[in-house]
Amino acid sequence: MTDIKQRVAAVTGAGGGIGLGIAERLARAGYQVIAMDRDAKVNEAVAILSAEGLKVQAVVLDVADEAAVKKAVADIDAQHGRLDVLVNNAGIHPKVNGERNSFMKMTTAQWNEVLGVNLTSAFVLCREVAPLMKRQRWGRIINMSSRAGRTLVDTAGIHYAAAKAGMIGMTRVIAAEVAADGITANCIAPGRIVSPMTDQGSAEQRAMLVGRIPVRRIGTPDEIGHVVQFLASEDAGYLTGTVIDVNGGTFMC
């Protein structure tokens, strides 16, 4: 069993919001964390964590760029010789004036942009990382879906919902294929979590959405990070191909 302080975790979309919360939670648990984001703000976020003595490394990466993703994985392997945990969290949800775009008005380019970042990038990363995990006979793949991938969410565009539902199906196939190699693959489906994405829309809209959450509040990135930390642990070794809903009770309504 590898000591947790020797384990390396890569988190995409880690420049803020849920991704940064996950990166911080894993770093505080002792992991060497590679925080990836296409926005250079990830450097500032990581500098703050590094100043506390946490082992966090920033990588500016557009996950929709396949060549750049392959190079990033190769660089991790060259520098650390391993990758134990992959968290596919990067995601976008462009809206028009704070509202979802009707599928009848959506262009193919808009569809492809969201599917490329939210789903295809996760496929490419899983494909590139799996051989490293297989080599060490241990690994944890954690893919971020959404409540919109589980049920109808009236604020979610068709491209976003399709990508998040696809993430669940993809994760199950991966889980089945790599289970015998000591690798697990699971999904987390967050509900409304504090992030720049959930800050879209008017104050009235946000208040209405909070009123629909049984626990009457929005979740925090650290609460998602806590679930990721569990899925990344030895204790979660018998858990694979699952979806964990973290939404304050909204999926049961």
Dump pLDDT digits (tens) for 90-119.
999 987 656 677 899 999 999 999 999 999
b/e burial code for range 189-217 (CB count within 10 A of at least 16 → b): bbbbbbbebbebeeeeeeeebeeebeeee
Q: For residue 33, how many other CB atoms are within 10 A of its CB?
A: 29
pLDDT of residue 200: 63
197 vs 204, residue with greater confidence:
204
Tokens 């004036």, residue? 97
Q: Alpha-carbon distance 96 to 214, whole Å?
A: 28
What percent of the chain clears pLDDT 70, i.e. is strictly above it? 94
Sign of the C-alpha dihedral computed for residues 197, 189, 247 and 184 taken in this order = negative
Residue 202 — very low, low, confident or very high, per pLDDT cuts 50/70/90? Answer: confident
Active-site residues, by number, are: 160
Q: Where are the domains of the chain?
A: 4-244
Q: DSSP strand E in the chain: where?
A: 8-12, 32-37, 56-60, 85-88, 139-144, 183-190, 243-246
Q: Which CATH class is domain 4-244?
A: alpha beta
pLDDT of residue 155: 83
pLDDT of residue 42: 98
Dump pLDDT digits (tens) for 138-180.
999 999 999 999 999 888 999 999 999 999 999 999 999 999 9
Dump pLDDT digits (tens) for 43-100.
999 999 999 999 999 999 999 999 999 999 999 999 999 999 999 999 999 876 566 7
Dump pLDDT digits (tens) for 231-242.
999 999 999 999
Q: Give the pLDDT mean for 115-133.
A: 98
Q: Give the SS3 label for residue 23.
A: helix
